[in-house]
Structure 1
Amino acid sequence: MIDFILRAAVPDDIPAVLALWARAAKGTSITDDADGVTALLARDPECLLLAVRADDPAALLGTVIAGWDGWRCHLYRLAVDPEHRRRGIGAALLAAAEERFAALGGRRADAMVLDENELGHRTWQAAGYGPQPQWSRWVKPLEED
């Protein structure tokens, strides 16, 4: 068992966060870059939650973005280092995100999960989440790739 602590990300964490997402997260987004994460932290400094080793706070084990827009609670980028999965890190990150939402007055959380991410489906189902078949996500990039 590995001891870890949870904390909010700071700008100095951005390179490690992006590296973790590159090796642990499924899919990419146009905002998965230093500028995107910097803007996220500037907008809501408490929304990017990290799990780090208790004995080495620079060793990043997992992340979740717990975004609150004043109306809805959105979860993104739940990612745990593949070498440290199935040790309670993802569950602890989700519990912290849900506590954050409750403290902010949130009433329901939603998660972005890729259709083909079977491991993600099992993780989210185990945490009590399920798909809403009556909804589809519609998107429009606001800038060219």
Structure 2
Amino acid sequence: MEDGDVDEVVAVWNAAGVSRPWNDPARDLAFARLHPHSTVLVGVTERIVATVMVGEDGHRGWVYYLAVDPERRREGFGRAMMAAAEGWLSQRGVWKLQLLIREENVAVQRFYEALGYRDVRTVCMQKVIG
């Protein structure tokens, strides 16, 4: 992702339905790109059509905001973005990747299962601290 890509990336997130009103997408993007432990990768044809935010915490890798423009779904962009995220982590020596899926999003769960991911039956807890 380049500095000037923020509006295009946010547009893909909105079109794909991965953004939420309580998260400021510009803030999320800026924070992910601030340090070398995370980044935002983009899939580009004539414009940005896919994104994935990827980072590592020194123990595990995490993926957020995998999004594909709805008009370009079923063309392999989601798989390509996940392969790129896995590659980014592998280059850093990270061997375990985790991600969060909203419980009701069964179609996305099936997508990740087809890529070899599985539900490890853990509970994710959250507290907003800032």
Matched residue, 1:105: 93
1:41 aligns with 2:37: no
The structure 1 residue matched to 2:56, chosen from 68, 79, 99, is 68
Matched residue, 2:3: 11
**Distance across 1 between alignment mates of 2:89 and 2:2:** 20
Q: Per the alignment, do residues 38 and 26 of structure 1 end up closer, same or farther by CA in structure 2, a change over 3 Å counting?
A: closer
**Distance across 1 between alignment mates of 2:14 and 2:25:** 10
Q: Per the alignment, do residues 115 and 27 of structure 1 end up closer, same or farther by CA in structure 2, a change over 3 Å counting?
A: farther
Matched residue, 1:116: 104
Matched residue, 1:85: 73
Instruction: Name stretches of at least 5 consecutive residues in structure 2 with no aligned partner.
Output: none
Amino acid at match of 1:142: I
Give structure 1 regions of 4+ aligned residues with deviation exceeding 4 angstroms.
none
What secondary structure does 2:125 align onto?
A: coil
**Distance across 2 between alignment mates of 1:78 and 1:93:** 7
Matched residue, 1:126: 114
Shift of 1:35: 2.2
Contact 2:51/2:81 (8 A) holds in 1: yes
Instruction: Name stretches of at least 5 consecutive residues in structure 1 with no aligned partner.
Output: 1-8
**Distance across 1 between alignment mates of 2:40 and 2:70:** 19
Tell me the percent identity.
Answer: 30
The RMSD of aligned alpha carbons is 1.7
With normalisation by structure 1, the TM-score equals: 0.82
